[in-house]
Amino acid sequence: MAGWSVRDIPGQDGRVAVVTGANSGLGYVVARELARRGARVVLACRSERRGSEALARLGAEVPGARAEMRRLDLADLGSVREFAGGLPYGHVDLLVNNAGVMALPYGTTADGFETQFGTNHLGHFALTGLLLPALFAAPGARVVTVSSPLHALANVDLRDPHATRRYHRWTAYARSKSANLLFTHELARRLAEHAPDVVAAAAHPGYAATNLQTAGPSAEGRRAVVWLVRGANRLFAQPVEAGALPVLYAATAPGVRPDSFTGPSFAMWRGAPAPSWRAPWTLDDTMGERLWAASERMTGVTYEALNG
């Protein structure tokens, strides 16, 4: 992996890639670089306006890119079903579960789930399950789910998954990111038995300068916090293009192993893609099975092909 860069991305001609949250930040860079290498890219975005602006920008940066924007709100299972049912392609070679929210004040999704757990985990769990037939139809398909080093702050709490008893924004975020890794672990385990040609892997950007860190305080009008975060980003964060590299590596590099976790090489913070440390609980088979069963119950999306 040493020195791996976008120049090392293999050709993606003929491949269909779905990238959630592709209107900005990591998702946009991932979509742009996949399109640059020839993939047909679907920018899955909650805001049609911002998604359309991103699509126009991508077209300007990558002339001739085969890209389109489709609306997807991961905080609304109806939108997830509509998106999955409306894809006009018989196969999906790459699904990048990138979109997410961070450290928001307490709220709930359209379906009554705590916002961070519902968006970051349950929305992507449902999307992946609904796209499973299309992934099975693509030889060598991959599902890459974006987590965070901050997953290490807390494990999933299935006794109170929606934090109805007690809510702390950073704990809730960490639990949703642990759920991303547990989902990847359990998905990889089931794919190994039923569809070994499909790879489920995870990645994280380290500390990358995106608008994710400021979205929560900005929505609450906490200007001083926004100012401090932006200052920290300028001083300490790596550029978003560098943060996207571990995701692109997991999505495209030959030989990526199922259930691998790729991040920046230096202290999980910055640098070239490298294997990343993860909390032991994200490799717990029993917890993975419990989260899987609970996610199927909550979303109503069952992975029948992988449940045998």
pLDDT in tens, 131-180: 999 999 999 999 999 999 999 999 999 999 999 999 999 999 999 999 99
pLDDT of residue 11: 96
Round to whole Å and give the CA distance between 119 and 37: 29
Give percent above pLDDT 70 in the chain: 87
Over 60: is that where the pLDDT of 219 sits?
A: no
Other beta carbons within 10 angstroms of residue 18's beta carbon come to 29
List alpha helices for 62-142, DSSP H: 77-86, 115-116, 124-130, 132-136
Q: Which two tokens stand for residue 122?
A: 């349950």
pLDDT of residue 270: 63
Q: Which of 140, 121, 127 is nearest to 191 (CA)?
A: 140
Round to whole Å and give the CA distance between 111 and 91: 28
Q: Which residue has the tokens 């809510």?
A: 167
Round to whole Å and give the CA distance between 177 and 170: 11
Q: Which residue has the tokens 């899955």?
A: 44
Degrees (nearest 5) of the Cα angle 10, 6, 235?
A: 160
pLDDT of residue 31: 98
Burial 114-125 (b: 16+ CB within 10 A, else e): bbbbbbbbbbbb
pLDDT of residue 265: 79
Q: Average per-residue pLDDT in the chain? A: 90
Average pLDDT over residues 202-223: 60
pLDDT of residue 234: 44
pLDDT of residue 231: 42
- Any idea how long the chain is? 308
Over 60: is that where the pLDDT of 221 sits?
A: no
The strand pairing partners of 263, in sequence order, are 274
Listed in order, strand segments (DSSP E) in 4-154 are: 16-20, 40-45, 66-71, 94-97, 142-146
More confident residue, 211 or 286: 286
Q: Are 48 and 24 in contact (CB under 8 A)?
A: no
Q: CB within 8 A of 88, min separation 6: which ones? A: none
pLDDT of residue 212: 52
Q: Is the pTM of this model over 0.85?
A: yes
Q: Are 70 and 47 in contact (CB under 8 A)?
A: no
Q: CB within 8 A of 224, min separation 6: which ones? A: none
Round the CA-based radius of gyration of the chain to a whole number and report it. Answer: 18
pLDDT of residue 271: 75
Q: Which two tokens stand for residue 278?
A: 């993860």
Active site residues: 173
Query: Tell me: the pLDDT tens digits for 62-104?
Result: 999 999 999 999 999 999 999 999 999 999 999 999 999 999 9
Over 60: is that where the pLDDT of 122 sits?
A: yes
Q: Are 282 and 182 in contact (CB under 8 A)?
A: yes
pLDDT of residue 272: 82
> Does the CA dihedral 165-166-169-171 come out positive or negative?
negative
pLDDT of residue 210: 53
Over 70: is that where the pLDDT of 214 sits?
A: no
Other beta carbons within 10 angstroms of residue 107's beta carbon come to 15
Q: CB within 8 A of 76, min separation 6: which ones? A: 109, 110, 111
